Chain A
């Protein structure tokens, strides 16, 4: 049978149409997927960025903030009661309660202290605020897990150094980005510096008449001039024979020296004017607490002050080159 030209033409035309139909439908599917993928990608990326911000920014920051303010609120509490915490455990327990909930023994600490410090600044409040903002502003509902009681522990060690503390807290949270749910359970360790925090020990020992806030000294070379400047500027420095800053919040804390984190200030004329001279080393931990050195020999340091009302003296470990380097100006104190 002979092949007709018309037949070939119609066959080719029909093949062309079928091909066009197939291609057009394939293209539509591709386009649909192509439009969806970037949206999903963007959602996941935004959710990831939010989680990253929470883990490395907001949560550690909130822990630092609430912990810092909790220490301030506890210092005020000590000033009002004029009683330090019974021991380290009592202090840690109070710290945790104030930091997380803003309460002390179940009562609003700001009401007890009559000073607004923790209101709207507790960790729980900060987390709730973030939950609201995430949902309303980013459209990323975020929930923190409070089902197990949160535990917060404050400590100092080699990693924190003498001028800071760290707070450990385990926290779980969930970020819901409609198509993606990201769940995390993380142990956070946040650092907080003591700068400008009230030293409860000064308030306790002067019956609230002298207040001093923490300022770390940055000098490394010690001599008569730098020691005078240190006293005048009311600063604190590291010394291994001194107690930690946290130790100033509880009974017996001043007696425990800390090789990693011991800090002290020197008693200035303002304190002597308020509480009078005592036959003690003018390192604050010794002057207030009767601890932080073992040798009984005291040295009168000439040159710090010529005022008879301010007979500055230090124990033997502190006049040495390894401490204030004042041996050239130190004479044994007969009293």
Chain B
């Protein structure tokens, strides 16, 4: 065998190495961009957890305090329905809007990745927004929607309100 054989073999290996490095760099760059699927799942997960969990099952001192002090009158509600009720109460008593912000902040802190931004809207009013990027500058916005309604002590009825969880990056 001539020396040319060695040369071509080595050349092939080097070429493979260059191509793999290129592919690796491209994948690395692509992975840092927002994935639609990831944002969609995040928005759905956040909305689902706000709908399917019950307030009484949430292990959080803010929710416990509000329940113990009688501000939350029905701990069997889901958080999103509770936000809806407090939005309704907040129309006549401003402090319920503060409770809403406090509850959402405490509920999502630590579980919602902070590289994403999110907002919860009820009846087209923002009840809480966490953002490092303005919604107007978002490259990708994902929304999960629900209709919510309820009653206070089964005697005062509210809704139906459109409720929306927006996630963007």
Contact = CB atoms under 8 A, between A and B. Distances in A.
Interface of A: 49-50, 53, 57-58, 61-62, 64-65, 68, 121, 129-130, 133-134, 137-138, 192-193, 195-196
24 contacts: A50-B147, A53-B146, A58-B149, A58-B160, A61-B149, A61-B150, A64-B151, A64-B157, A65-B157, A68-B157, A121-B157, A129-B160, A130-B147, A133-B147, A133-B162, A134-B147, A137-B145, A137-B147, A193-B153, A193-B154, A193-B155, A195-B153, A195-B155, A196-B155
A57 B81 CA distance: 11
Contacts of A129: 160
B83 to A, nearest CB: 15
A193 B157 CA distance: 13
Nearest to B150: A61
A137 B162 contact: yes
Contacts of B160: 58, 129-130, 133
A156 to B, nearest CB: 16
Given A138-B147, A195-B154, 16 more contacts: A50-B147, A53-B146, A57-B149, A61-B149, A61-B150, A64-B151, A65-B151, A68-B157, A121-B157, A129-B160, A133-B147, A137-B147, A192-B154, A193-B155, A195-B153, A196-B155
A68 B157 CA distance: 10
Nearest to A121: B157
Given A58-B160, A129-B160, A133-B160, A53 B154 contact: no
Q: Max chain B CB contacts within 10 Å: which of A49, A65, A130, A195?
A: A65
Contacts of A134: 147
Given A58-B160, A133-B160, A133-B162, A138 B145 contact: yes
Interface of B: 145-147, 149-151, 153-155, 157, 160, 162
Nearest to B151: A61
A contact face: mostly helix, strand, loop, or mixed: helix
A158 to B, nearest CB: 19
Nearest to B48: A49
Contacts of B145: 137-138
B147 A58 contact: yes
A138 B145 CA distance: 7
Nearest to A214: B155
A131 B5 CA distance: 76
Nearest to A142: B147
Contacts of A121: 157
A50 B144 CA distance: 13
B147 A53 contact: yes
A265 B135 CA distance: 58
B150 to A, nearest CB: 7
A68 B160 CA distance: 17
Q: Max chain B CB contacts within 10 Å: which of A62, A137, A138, A192?
A: A137
A58 B146 CA distance: 12
B155 to A, nearest CB: 5
Contacts of A58: 147, 149, 160
A49 B155 CA distance: 26
Contacts of A196: 155
A49 B157 CA distance: 22
Q: Max chain B CB contacts within 10 Å: which of A61, A68, A195?
A: A61
A35 to B, nearest CB: 11
Nearest to A38: B37
A44 to B, nearest CB: 14
A138 B160 CA distance: 13
Across chains A and B, which 6 residue pairs bring their CB atoms closest together, nearest first? A65-B157, A137-B162, A193-B154, A196-B155, A195-B155, A58-B149
A58 B153 CA distance: 16
Contacts of B153: 193, 195
A121 B159 CA distance: 11
Nearest to A65: B157
Nearest to A129: B160
A313 to B, nearest CB: 33
A171 to B, nearest CB: 16
Nearest to B144: A46
Nearest to A72: B155
Contacts of B157: 61, 64-65, 68, 121
A64 B159 CA distance: 13
Contacts of A138: 145, 147
Contacts of B162: 133, 137
Contacts of B155: 68, 193, 195-196
